[in-house]
Amino acid sequence: MTIKFKWSVSVLAIILIFASSKFLIGHSQQVDNISDQELSLNWQIKDYSDFGYDQHGDETQITVHDNGNAQIAVYHAETPYISYYNKETEEWEIVDSSFWEHGAPEILFARDGVFLAKITGMANIISSYDGIEWHNAGFSRNARNAMATGAYDVQQGVGVVSWWYNQSPIYYSSDSLTERTEWTLATGTEESPIPIFRYLTAHKGSFVGYYAPY
């Protein structure tokens, strides 16, 4: 399968969310004494134990990710790093995966029923659909520096990851996310070079991103 990349520049807005050791979870709740069209939010404070973790040292960062079908919480401390939300028990449960024995996970993409992640310091792309079972989806040969972001187009069955290196900024694959294969380095042109992306997502058959000039 041959994939051609053509990039256009537009202005994108990025929302940055900072996480701490405490989390506020909002639930919509109907209020009986007003119109059925009006809703209120009931907020609850969540801490480590609610996500299935014990605190390790001074590490406080937990990030929560939702791919539309499954929810995971990543604790940036030590293994086990990931817990998932069990919809049947309505509890967060620890995920035991051997991948994270090699380094901390970082979620690159969560949407359309897909999680893409990396092992910090390595060139492997790790994938999951349910947040419980994780797969080595492949690797980026000769990539340098850090893998910064990624995206997956479910309709086309194509994934991309971006590296913080201007000689090899984008790798792509149309292979199964459950099989370890080599991802292909995308090549641009002098008129349309491929930039280094800080953020990527898939939208209506295109990959859209925020790039960092170099």
What are the DSSP calls for 10-76, one per residue?
-----------SSEEEEEEEE-TTS-TT-EEEEEEEE-GGGGT----TT---EEEEE-SS-EEEEES
pLDDT at 20: 33
CA-to-CA separations, 205 to 62, 88, 202, 208, in angstroms, rounded = 32, 34, 7, 10
pLDDT at 212: 66
pLDDT at 79: 66
CA-to-CA separations, 167 to 8, 43, 68, 173, in angstroms, rounded = 19, 47, 34, 18
Cβ neighbours of residue 169 closer than 8 Å, sequence gap 6 or more: 162, 163, 186, 194, 195, 196, 197
Residues 68, 113: contact at Cβ < 8 Å? yes
Name the band, by pLDDT with cuts 50, 70 and 90, for residue 80. low
Rounded CA separation 199/121 (Å): 19
Torsion over CA: 79, 99, 198, 203 (sign): negative
Q: Does 187 or 74 have the greater pLDDT score?
A: 74
Rounded CA separation 164/213 (Å): 11
Least confident of 39-43, 45-49, 206-210: 39-43
pLDDT at 37: 58
Q: Does 208 or 25 have the greater pLDDT score?
A: 208
> What DSSP designation does 168 have?
S
Q: Count CB neighbours of 96 within 10 A.
A: 10
**Is residue 23 scored above 60 in pLDDT?**
no
Rounded CA separation 161/119 (Å): 13
Residues 183, 171: contact at Cβ < 8 Å? yes
pLDDT at 38: 64
**Is residue 214 scored above 60 in pLDDT?**
no
Mean pLDDT across the stretch 120-130?
94
Question: CA-based angle 110:113:114, to the nearest 5?
Answer: 50
Token pair for residue 197?
């992306």
Question: What average pLDDT is seen over the chain?
Answer: 81
Q: Does 210 or 24 have the greater pLDDT score?
A: 210
Name the band, by pLDDT with cuts 50, 70 and 90, for residue 26. very low
Token pair for residue 189?
């042109």
What is the pTM (predicted TM-score) of this model?
0.80
**Is residue 25 scored above 70 in pLDDT?**
no
